[in-house]
Structure formats: structure tokens, C-alpha cells
Structure 1
């Protein structure tokens, strides 16, 4: 009975969330079209709404831990759920994301992504995207901020393992910026591939910075170790059995 109720509430949550995304997208569109501030305001408003309604409608509480960076840094983040995107976006002062190039052509969303200064990446052309991003920063089109990238390249369901890609190191090397890894357990409560939302404490945690000076092997080894170890700890804290993690 409890599960059935949770399913009903989850469906209501998903539907109202989609409606609010559409309404806010339309409402803020004129402002976003002419100013990055409008795009940021729209996305922060939506993220705030989605996180708030998740708490009282489906029982997902959220918590951000660690020191949130304010300067120009890289954010290599564990990605399990759309929820971790919203939580990261909501707390960063100037958030930008590495995104699929195809999203630029999505109605409304493409304009918002462009105005936010997100970096579109074509498959197999990451190096060109990095150069374009650096040129945009130097020209002033995109102000320095926090650039989030997902080292595994996609959402990874809880209990599964996907190898880390070298994209974060390419940005680390080319930009000369410090990397601030992010761990999460959001996938336990907002899973990939289902409308069911599960109650509990969803956490996004900013970890100790990785300073410049590491080789590719050193950087990638350290990055994967700290993100995976801390994400596993957060999932274990929420009741996940680590013995089910497949590597």
C-alpha cells in the first residue's frame, strides 16, 4: 500500500514538474533571450521549485555538503540523476555545464543553455570544444565560472560502474584551473529510467580540491578514487549495500 501511494505521488510530482518547467521556460524566455541573467534566474527558479516540491510531495530531502567554490574552477561530478544537476546548479555562483551538442537545437532549452554559457560537445570533438570555450571566456561572451563535467559521460545508475573518460583531465590541463570533485547519492532517490521517486536524504558533496601539477594518470586515478569512494560512502550512509556494486 505504501509503495502504491509513493508511485501515485511520484507520478503527480513528475507531471507537475514538467508543467512548471514549460511554464517557467516560456515566462522567462524573453528575458533569457536578451540576458544571461534571465537564463540563470529561470533555471534557479525551476531548480528551487523542483527541489522544494520533491521534499513535501515525495519525501526527498536534499543537502549540500563541503565548501562550495566561488572562483573559476572545474567541477568533475558524479552523475546519477537529474536531481544532482539541479542541486549543483542551484548552489554554484556561475554554473556552466559540458553538454551534448544536440541539445542546442532543442526548443527553448537550447537558448537557455547557450545563454548560460554551457559548452556544447560533439562526440569525437572534445578538443575543439575546449578551444572554443577558452576563446569564449577570453572574448567575454562567457564569464569565468564553475564548469561542470561528468567524468563518466552519462548518468550512472546506483550499483553500476562506468569507466572514467579523460575529458576532465583535458580541461584541467588546458584551463590551468583547480578541479573540485563532487560526490553524490541522488540516484538512490531519483533513479534513472523510472518515474518512481523514493524518500530519503539526497546529498551532493563538494570534495577537497585537486590542484594543478598532476600528470594524466595521477589526476585520473585520484579523481576516480575520491569521487567513487565518497559516493559509495554517501550511498552506504543512506542504506545501500556496497556489495552489490559491480566493477
Structure 2
């Protein structure tokens, strides 16, 4: 295989993952032409790749118009990942403990490329219930966890990782990047971060790190609570999260 053929094949693999990521983000089936338009890719290329992904069970046809969505093989690959990496199984039990002791919604969160995602969640038992879409990709700077998960990067690496548009909040305000990086440094030092949510007006978000064997924050444990409950129980929630983060870090 020539070098040009290798590069062409690599571009095709990248584009195939773009298709899978796009369908994950839109959460609905789409026709190949719609996918090609969304990705800015040649329609013929997308048709060919979709055919290959269908053949391998990574995509499935959902209607007579040729619309496709993620296939069951993606689900089975996810199960294999969960079974191999013990951290997610351990995290499920830790979330149960956090929610049992605080009655608030707890989450296990990670990076997904240059985005943040909630990997696991336990809903709280209070009358005012808060939940998030598990698996949804969110701009890292919009989250409390986004101050902890980047603590091992230098300033330029942080700027290079995060797309410029992710520093624009849902209401159109531009975030101060220098202030954001300063919050990352403080959170890394304190092993904790909390703030009033910047994407809604009624919740307060707490986050504590889960460290891997090299001392890098590879995940976070979070509590999302109504602001009044957060103020009243701030010390308790912080202590519960940090203790849970330390416990989970020891299993990595």
C-alpha cells in the first residue's frame, strides 16, 4: 500500500467516526445526504462509508428512505468497555452512596475528546428533581468538572483543546479565557470546584476529582442541587464528594 493510499484510508476512518459522532449528537436517524451536508463532506463518500458501517453493524437502516442510526454493535462495544474497565462499575456504587447520603442528583463525568459528558447518573429523591442527558456532549468550560479535568494541561494546551465557540455561553456572553484558566489552577490545587450553573438559573454544581494512577484527573464526581439546598448543605456536599472521589481514585 502506497503512502497516498494509507493517508486516504486514514481520512476515510476519520470520516466514519465523524458520522458516528454526528448521529450520537443529533440523537435521531438521518438520511445520508443530510449527514453529508452536516459534515460538509462529499455525498458519494458518505454513502460509501455508511454502506460499510451498515455491513459491520455499526449503523442500521431505520426507514424506507434510507435513514440510518447507530447500530446494535455500538451498544455491544459499549458493554464490552464497561465490563473491561472496572472504574465505571465502581462509580455506579459510589453514586448510589452519594445520592443516598445527600438526596441530590449525583453524576460521574468524563472528557470525550474536546467535550464533557455525563457518563453515569443517579437522580435525587427530593421533590425538585434534577437530571441531565447521559452521554450528551457539552462544552467543557460550561461545567464545574471542566475546571478539574484540564488541571494537568498547561495554558496553551487548554487553549488548543477547546474550540473558540465553546467559550461563548448559551446567552451569547463571551467567557474570559484567562479567568477560566485561573479557575482551573485553583480547582486543581483545592481538589474541588463548585459554582452556580452558568447554563441555568436554579442549580449549583459541585465537582471533585477522580485521579488515575499517574495522578491525572481522569473523571469527576458531581452533585447538582437546587441553589437553596446547596447553600444550606455546602459543607456536607463538599465533604461527601471529596471522600467519594478519594475512594474511587484508590480503585483505579
Coarse TM-score class (shorter-chain normalised):
0.3 to 0.5
* TM-score under structure 1 length normalisation: 0.37
The structure whose residues are more often strand, as a share, is 2
Q: Whose relative contact order is higher, 1 or 2, with alpha carbons under 8 Å and at least 6 apart? A: 1
